[in-house]
Structure 1
């Protein structure tokens, strides 16, 4: 069962610190391309943007475990084989709630998974696979950069560090 925001590590820290200070956001993102090279996106329930499954680590988790959990919570799919391809640690952003975070995030290419795609979960209002040349409007701006990082990793074999 997924934790609520208030129960999550980051939710507890944010409540303790308040809304004004910048916090470190440590997390992971899962990138799934199906056998037709379509990208899995979820439409987030909090801001209705289309995004790749991603989220914050909980205490005791590895980044890989975080990616597996976040994909499962947001899609109902269980990642069974994944490879890290990019590590971002210098991005600072403010979300729609006015909370500012410096993001430390590992992106994983998920090669295999099991289960049936759940289009609606506690964290998503829709989900689906989209052709790369026909991604939906209202999407997260990080999608294109993440796909470029994946292409760089696949052509060089080197982890992308930013």
Structure 2
């Protein structure tokens, strides 16, 4: 997966030391299609090219980038859809993550419920090998627990932003590997 230039620049100074990285997850929800209400909401998932995992759209924020703008950008870059944030569904930290090259980091994710404005989803860059709408009643069995958590947060329409239990990280609490960001 491509690493942002500003992260590569930081790595020249800090090597593989752990970085704290702000990121976004965009849970694009579709409740209507072709002018009709769907029997079950659908969420947009991408299948990552590096490990084949299905995930919601996610990515690292650029320096100074507003999280909502980052979520819009990530959805467009990865799926060619134009989407807009509906609300912040939650915020959580996870990690540590260690990549095969030894780089270590922890992510602070701002999770957005999003809705589409325009376009049909398609693979739009080399980060994904597939993209599609999934009814929430038929999500891929292999979908990681943290992905299910953020989808649940986004589907809780109108709820205030949610958080993991104070004093625990999501990764520690769930015993699951943390999702990677690009």
TM range (shorter): 0.7 to 0.9
Stretches of structure 1 that go unaligned for 5 or more consecutive residues are none
Match of 1:94 in 2: 97
2:80 touches 2:124 (CA, 8 Å); kept in 1? no
- Are 1:59 and 2:63 matched, yes or no? yes
Over alpha carbons, which structure has the higher Rg?
A: 2
1:25 aligns with 2:24: no
Distance 1:9 1:141 in 2: 30
User: What is the CA deviation profile of residues 100-129 of structure 1, one whole-angstrom value per residue up to 9, with x for unaligned ones?
Assistant: 322111011112321221135221100001
TM-score, normalised via structure 2 length: 0.75
Aligned-pair distance for 1:15? 4.2
Equivalent residue pairs, number: 155
- Separation in 2 of the partners of 1:55 and 1:81? 15
| Counterpart secondary structure, 2:137 | coil
Q: Which segments of structure 1 move beyond 4 Å, counting only runs of 4 or more?
A: none
Q: Give RMSD over aligned pairs.
A: 2.2
Secondary structure of the 1:143 match is: helix
